[in-house]
């Protein structure tokens, strides 16, 4: 690659790799190795001293992983990226990096269940507190910020009710207070939303989802606005906590990324088709979809997302009984948590992903027993609609 300013779709395929340095291999080679052999004792010494670049040991860096990291940094408009063994390893690494005992983290009202679990570990073991807020207006954000707030942690759209927060508004207020903003961008993928462009300091992904896109890897990515800070995390929290990605999983993510834009366009189209269909179903009470023109939050969605994405939640009349019956009657659509795969998946948040959230809080978040979440896949949407249609007709 000679030019630096290629369009995104081109970067998904080429960024960070030149076949000249790899025996002319078109595909990025898989360096499945734990360590690297030095030619001499002196060479080893100078690599450890940082005087010479090159491999040392795969927990500190690996050529296959490096391609993935450079590609992800470019796709999220950051200066550097780190790949992890899971989305949660990325979440815990950035929160450990940004906080110390006595600090406070401000969060959006709904966050991923295990992120919630990690915040509780920080609170119980290290006295690092957190609060949740809707962060909907400047006044609300100002009121929620405490003197010891060091980080605002955002998810948008929020799982599973697709509530949105205005990333630009939050980063503007945070900057005034010198507070760093971290965005979990898993639901949108780098193709639909780029938080660093909206002023965030860090963006992270469960790469398990849309980045891999094929349902066969658990991985995480952290991208930072500043190269230096990412390198600090690499040689401290990542190296010493050790939550790195395996070269093989990095290789699969590189393969997945090549089709990211094509997949996201189809996920979005299929989800829009299903959204239209669900609007015609008499058994459906509410539908939650970011690009619903009748939702007042559509304005926020349009401002920060390129398209609506592949996730839709809806509530079925008749609560838990009908929700479970609908799931059990589906043939093509699979019952599974996770998202972003080629297969369309359906799950029941109140008994699955959000079963650990106390009922009162769950209901406040809009997660009723009749709520279902669809991760719309890449199948022909007519087949998906027919599958839903026959399941609804059995209720
Ligand atoms: C899945 C997910 C995570 C956790 O990622 P893992 O790869 O499962 O560790 C974090 N945030 C969101 C929004 C997710 O969907």
Distance (angstroms) between ligand 1 centre and the Cα of 352 equals 14
Reference 164, options 110, 125, 118; nearest CA is: 110
Report the sign of the C-alpha dihedral through residues 249, 254, 255, 259, in that order: positive
Q: What is the dihedral of CA 256, 258, 264, 266, to 10 degrees?
A: -100
Q: How far apart are CA 121 and CA 111, in angstroms?
A: 15
pLDDT score at 301: 97
- Residue 2, pLDDT > 70, answer no
Distance (angstroms) between ligand 1 centre and the Cα of 338 equals 8
Q: Count the neighbouring beta carbons within 10 Å of the beta carbon of residue 269.
A: 16
Q: What is the pLDDT of residues 362-386, one digit of tens each?
A: 888 889 999 999 999 999 999 999 9
DSSP state of 35: B
Residues above pLDDT 90, as percent of the chain: 93
For residue 105, the Cα-to-chain-centroid distance in whole angstroms is 19
pLDDT score at 296: 87
Q: What is the pLDDT of residues 197-237, one digit of tens each?
A: 999 999 999 999 999 999 999 999 999 999 999 999 999 99
Mean pLDDT across the chain, nearest whole number? 96
Q: How far apart are CA 114 and CA 91, in angstroms?
A: 9
Kindly state if the Cβ of 252 falls inside 6 Å of ligand 1. Answer: no
93, 173, 311, 313, 354 from 344: Cα distances, Å: 31, 38, 10, 13, 20
Give the position, in ligand 1's atom list, of the atom nearest the Cα of 338: 1
1 — pLDDT class (breaks 50, 70, 90): low
361 — pLDDT class (breaks 50, 70, 90): confident
Kindly state if the Cβ of 185 falls inside 6 Å of ligand 1. Answer: no
pTM for this model (two decimals): 0.96
- Residue 4, pLDDT > 80, answer no
- Residue 74, pLDDT > 70, answer yes
Kindly state if the Cβ of 220 falls inside 6 Å of ligand 1. Answer: yes
Average pLDDT score over residue span 343-353: 97
Q: What is the pLDDT of residues 147-198, one digit of tens each?
A: 999 999 999 999 999 999 999 999 999 999 999 999 999 999 999 999 999 9
Domain 261-392 falls in which CATH fold? 3.90.1150
pLDDT score at 288: 97
Give the position, in ligand 1's atom list, of the atom nearest the Cα of 219: 7
pLDDT score at 91: 98
For residue 315, the Cα-to-chain-centroid distance in whole angstroms is 24
pLDDT score at 90: 98
Q: Give residue limits of the domains in the chain.
A: 8-257, 261-392
Kindly state if the Cβ of 208 falls inside 6 Å of ligand 1. Answer: yes
- Residue 303, pLDDT > 60, answer yes
356 — pLDDT class (breaks 50, 70, 90): confident
- Residue 3, pLDDT > 90, answer no
Please, which residues have CB within 8 angstroms of residue 220's CB and are 6 or more apart in sequence?
Answer: 83, 84, 85, 86, 87, 88, 89, 90, 91, 204, 205, 206, 207, 208, 243, 245
Whose Cα sits closest to atom 7 in ligand 1?
Answer: 87
Average pLDDT score over residue span 320-349: 98
88 — pLDDT class (breaks 50, 70, 90): very high
Kindly state if the Cβ of 116 falls inside 6 Å of ligand 1. Answer: no
CATH class of segment(s) 8-257 = alpha beta
Distance (angstroms) between ligand 1 centre and the Cα of 218 equals 9
- Residue 326, pLDDT > 80, answer yes
231, 270, 320, 387 from 224: Cα distances, Å: 10, 32, 42, 42
Kindly state if the Cβ of 223 falls inside 6 Å of ligand 1. Answer: no
**58 in helix, strand or coil?**
coil
Q: Count the neighbouring beta carbons within 10 Å of the beta carbon of residue 339.
A: 26
Average pLDDT score over residue span 32-57: 97
Distance (angstroms) between ligand 1 centre and the Cα of 111 equals 10
Kindly state if the Cβ of 88 falls inside 6 Å of ligand 1. Answer: yes
pLDDT score at 365: 82
Distance (angstroms) between ligand 1 centre and the Cα of 212 equals 13
Average pLDDT score over residue span 240-257: 98
Distance (angstroms) between ligand 1 centre and the Cα of 206 equals 4
φ, ψ (nearest 5 deg) of residue 165: -120, 155
pLDDT score at 219: 98
């Amino acid at each position: 690659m000679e030019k630096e300013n290629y369009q995104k779709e081109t970067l998904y395929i080429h960024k960070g790799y030149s076949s000249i340095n790899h025996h002319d291999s078109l595909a990025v080679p898989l360096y499945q190795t734990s360590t690297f052999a030095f030619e001499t004792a002196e060479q080893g010494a100078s690599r450890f001293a940082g005087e010479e670049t090159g491999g040392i040991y795969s927990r500190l860096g690996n050529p296959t992983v490096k391609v993935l990291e450079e590609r992800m940094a470019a796709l999220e408009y950051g200066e550097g990226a780190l790949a992890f063994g899971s989305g949660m390893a990325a979440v815990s690494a950035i929160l450990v990096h940004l906080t110390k005992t006595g600090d406070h983290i401000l969060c959006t009202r709904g966050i991923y269940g295990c992120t919630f679990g990690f915040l509780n570990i920080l609170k119980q073991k290290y006295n690092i507190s957190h609060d949740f807020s809707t962060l909907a207006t400047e006044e609300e954000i100002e009121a929620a910020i405490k003197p010891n707030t060091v980080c605002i942690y955002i998810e948008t759209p929020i799982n599973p009710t697709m509530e949105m927060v205005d990333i630009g508004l939050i980063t503007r207020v945070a900057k005034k207070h010198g507070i760093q903003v971290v965005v979990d961008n898993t639901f949108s993928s780098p193709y639909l939303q780029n938080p660093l462009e909206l002023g965030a300091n860090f963006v992270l992904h469960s790469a398990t989802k849309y980045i891999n896109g094929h349902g066969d890897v658990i991985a995480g990515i952290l991208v930072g606005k500043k190269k230096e800070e990412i390198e600090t995390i690499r040689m401290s929290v990542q190296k010493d906590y050790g939550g790195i990605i395996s070269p093989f999983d990095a290789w699969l993510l590189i393969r997945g990324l090549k089709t990211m834009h094509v997949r996201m366009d189809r996920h979005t189209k299929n989800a829009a088709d299903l959204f239209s269909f669900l609007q015609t179903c008499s058994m459906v009470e509410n539908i939650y979809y970011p690009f619903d023109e009748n939702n007042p939050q559509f304005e926020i969605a349009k401002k920060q997302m390129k398209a609506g994405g592949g996730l839709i939640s809806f509530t079925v009349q008749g609560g838990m009984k009908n929700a479970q019956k609908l799931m059990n009657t589906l043939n093509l659509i699979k019952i599974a948590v996770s998202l972003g795969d080629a297969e369309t998946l359906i799950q029941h948040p109140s008994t699955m992903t959000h079963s650990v959230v106390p009922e009162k809080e769950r209901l406040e978040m809009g997660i009723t027993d009749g709520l279902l979440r669809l991760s719309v896949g890449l199948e022909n949407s007519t087949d998906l609609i027919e599958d839903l249609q026959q399941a609804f007709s059995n209720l």
